[in-house]
Amino acid sequence: MDLQLSGRVAVVTGASKGIGLAVTRTLLEEGVRVVATSRRSSPALEALARADLLHVPADLMDPDAPGMVVARAAEAFGGLDILVNNAGGPPPGVTLPRGSFLDATDAEWRAMFEFNLFSAVRAVRAALPLMLERGGGAIVNVSSGNARQPSPINVDYGAAKAGMNNLTKVLSEEFGPKGVRVNTVSPGPVRTAWWTDEGGVADMIAAQAGTDRDSVMDRVAPEMMNLTTGRLADPQEVADVVALLVSPRSANTTGAEFVVDSGFLKAV
């Protein structure tokens, strides 16, 4: 399927690994010029190097960083058509999952919201004028199943992502009539560094369950979370949904949430 994206300009946050890397790769393959941002690059991102890819190192916890990244996109490629707010998860110095709601301090709550919600707010604020100049655009906010499935071990993270879901709806209502579509993609558990890195969630669960990280990801975690498909999602499976949503093929889809969660959410 031709997604009709060739020549468009995108900003992808959290682009050095996981879902963001998969989104960056997919958009490049569709002919999009991509500004990829992350605190630092990675060998996998560097392997994608070409004229249509610009990596802008930035710490999105800095209030000025999202606007700077968007400005670099306009400077390098002449405008902006697509924004994928993918950066998220535990900010530096914060570890998830927690043992309880009581384990999260005020400082950790603030950091979680800065990274998972306010960085997206600032990126959207910077991107909208550029999109409106071009007659429209597409924004995808990457949320989480925890936005709708409360969890005491990820309470501040889930609250921030619930705010992102609400933000998506508000933006779609205000700017949809002006040609800017805004949608949410909500992954469940995905085989990203949060799970796979040494000391990550898989290792934490493995230590508690008396097993190894591969067994956790292949069997223990899917059973624990009652995943219908029996497995964690691959980042590419999320990226494919994002690519379709930013495409003109989805021209009449806005204010929607698309779940890629292995059947994690059970409620209607």
**Dist CA 227 CA 263 (whole Å):** 5
Question: ∠ CA(95), CA(191), CA(14), 5° rounding?
Answer: 65
**Dist CA 141 CA 124 (whole Å):** 10
**Dist CA 182 CA 177 (whole Å):** 11
| DSSP string computed for 164-209 | HHHHHHHHHHHHGGGTEEEEEEEE-SBSSHHHHSTTSHHHHHHHHH
Q: Annotated catalytic sites, by residue?
A: 157
**Dist CA 152 CA 164 (whole Å):** 19
Q: Which residues contact 205 (CB under 8 A, 6 or more apart)?
A: 216, 220, 221, 224
**Dist CA 73 CA 77 (whole Å):** 6
Which element (helix H / strand E) includes 9?
A: strand 9-13
CB 250 within 8 A of CB 243: no
**Dist CA 210 CA 185 (whole Å):** 34
